[in-house]
């Protein structure tokens, strides 16, 4: 399984990047090859064709999914490059999960209607370094990929 994690964050080495490293490590331990790339709203995402699974992840700032990821979905060729791909989503935020599911996750999912989303997860602050929660997300992704 070849996985690329496309992410955005305004914080270099912050919560999102640390989480990505943990997710990447868990996937690599299970035999996947994993790369990560930071989103740019005007990027060229043709390279996504080289991967089986694309993980999209970002933090929430001021009630919105971080702008470069959202911008990439709205403005670049990312959405078309994701067609026929297996996609996993995650968000990091300070809000409770219920609120995040209602307010934040749809910002991504409305741009991915018709896509094959195989896993999704909100990581609350207390879960960012919780290895069991991260393992659960990775297991869900792997199971859905193998189906």
Ligand X SMILES: Cc1cc2nc3c(=O)[nH]c(=O)nc-3n(C[C@H](O)[C@H](O)[C@H](O)COP(=O)(O)O)c2cc1C
List residues near ligand X by CB under 6 A. 9-11, 14-16, 59-63, 92-95
**Shortest approach of ligand X to residue 130 CB, angstroms?**
13
How many angstroms separate the CA atoms of 17 and 102, rounded? 24
**Shortest approach of ligand X to residue 103 CB, angstroms?**
8
**Shortest approach of ligand X to residue 63 CB, angstroms?**
4
Question: Whose Cβ is closer to ligand X: residue 112's or residue 128's?
Answer: 128
Question: Whose Cβ is closer to ligand X: residue 98's or residue 113's?
Answer: 98
Residue of this chain nearest to ligand X (CB atom): 14
Question: Whose Cβ is closer to ligand X: residue 19's or residue 81's?
Answer: 19
**Shortest approach of ligand X to residue 39 CB, angstroms?**
13
Question: Whose Cβ is closer to ligand X: residue 45's or residue 123's?
Answer: 123
């Amino acid at each position: 399984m070849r996985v690329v994690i496309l992410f955005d964050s305004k914080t270099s080495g912050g919560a999102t990047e640390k989480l990505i490293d943990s997710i990447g490590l868990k996937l690599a331990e299970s035999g996947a090859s994993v790369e990560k790339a930071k989103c740019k709203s005007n990027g060229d995402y043709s390279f996504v064709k080289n991967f089986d699974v694309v993980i999209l992840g970002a933090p929430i700032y001021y009630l919105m999914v971080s702008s470069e990821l959202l911008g990439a979905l709205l403005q670049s060729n990312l959405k078309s490059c994701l067609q026929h791909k297996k996609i996993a989503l995650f968000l990091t935020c300070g809000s409770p999960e219920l609120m995040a599911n209602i307010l934040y996750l749809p910002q991504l999912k409305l741009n991915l209607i018709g896509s094959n989303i195989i896993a999704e997860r909100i990581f609350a602050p207390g879960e960012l370094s919780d290895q069991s929660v991260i393992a659960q997300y990775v297991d869900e992704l792997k199971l859905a990929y193998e189906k």
